[in-house]
Amino acid sequence: MARVVTRTCVGCRQRASATELIRVVAVGADTPRVLAPDPRRSAPGRGAHVHPTTTCFDLAERRRAFGRALLLECPVDSARVRRSIVGPDDDPTGSE
């Protein structure tokens, strides 16, 4: 029997299968650190997991959960992750 890997969503704090969540990693060394989706789940370093919904994403941003989960002490830029969830045409922030 295959083992199911579970992770906790940093937005809603619900546990779910890792395949149901998006893994997010911090890339680059600049400030603010840029968050990027890791669809293959293979990027090195710590990862945070979030459901692919705007509700969970907004909760995670409001709670500053990405920075905490990734052990970052600087601001984070999460625009790339938002675009991967809502799509570039539906992004209400208008960020590129």
Task: Please give the Cα distance from 71 to 87 (Å, whole number).
Answer: 27
23 in Cβ contact with 38 (< 8 Å) = yes
H or E, element range at 6: strand 6-8
pLDDT digits (tens, 9 = 90+) for 47-64: 999 999 999 999 999 999
pTM summary value: 0.85
- Is the link from the previous residue into 32 a cis peptide, with omega within 30 of 0? yes
Half-sphere exposure of 25 (CA within 13 A, CB side): 13
Q: Judge whether residue 77 has pLDDT over 70.
A: yes
Per-residue tokens: 54:
């705007």
Q: Which domains does the chain have, with CATH numbers?
A: 6-86 (3.30.1230.10)
